[in-house]
Amino acid sequence: MRYSYGIVDEKKVLAYQPQLFRSMDDLLIFPSRDFTRWHSGIVEIIDGIYQINAKHLDKNKFFDTTDFDLLFGLAVNIDLELKNLFDLEDYADFSHHYISTMDPQYKKRKNNFYGRYMHKIDRNMGEITPRMKYIHMMEIVDYAHRLWAGESRATLLNIKKRK
């Protein structure tokens, strides 16, 4: 995304990199201190989500509904931040500024592909009974018989269809 810093000078803005914008562009101008504060707030929330996800690195632990509710709560917070961006009466809280120091290995995409192949993995398997084993064996025998008979008409006529 193209962006440039600038400074307010006599009720106009002097951009540091005015070459990025065309003359017909519609521009949005934020105070940089407020905007970086807002940005750091969202980064903090996303880091929180990755902290919940860090549980997944230990394969013996599984997620439950509370984890999902926590993630949902953080998503609601992001939504609130997005709504407050264009609220004129909402003043930024400068008491703290979050700088992400999280190890990037926690932010890597890790996929076990269960989500994609869920319906294949969860497919139900029937029990294998002796009767099924017998039918399977006889199918193989039938196939072998057909191969052995080849294309000779006499032997083909002798094959009975079992079912």
Question: Is the Cβ–Cβ distance between 49 and 78 less than 8 Å?
Answer: no
Q: Please identify, using beta-carbon distances, which residue of 67 and 142 lies nearer to another protein.
A: 67
Stretch that binds another protein, among 50-58, 130-138, 142-150, 152-160 (CB under 8 A): 50-58
Rounded Cα distance, 83 and 90, in Å: 10
Q: Does 23 bind another protein (CB under 8 A)?
A: yes
Q: Residue 111 in 3-state DSSP?
A: coil
One residue of 57, 76, 135, 137 binding another protein per CB under 8 A = 76
Rounded Cα distance, 73 and 52, in Å: 12
Question: Is the Cβ–Cβ distance between 71 and 52 less than 8 Å?
Answer: yes
Q: Does 150 bind another protein (CB under 8 A)?
A: no
Rounded Cα distance, 160 and 163, in Å: 10
Rounded Cα distance, 127 and 67, in Å: 35
Rounded Cα distance, 107 and 43, in Å: 12
Place of tokens 């230990």: 58
Question: Which residues within the stretch 92-131 sit at the binding site for another protein (CB under 8 A)?
Answer: 92, 107, 109-115, 118
Q: Please identify, using beta-carbon distances, which residue of 77 and 142 lies nearer to another protein.
A: 77
Query: Minimal distance in Å, beta carbon 12 to another protein?
Result: 5
Q: Does 57 bind another protein (CB under 8 A)?
A: no
> Which residues of the chain form contacts with another protein (CB under 8 A)?
1-15, 18, 21-23, 25-36, 38-39, 42-43, 46, 49-50, 53, 56, 62-65, 67-69, 71-72, 75-76, 78-79, 82, 84-88, 90, 92, 107, 109-115, 118
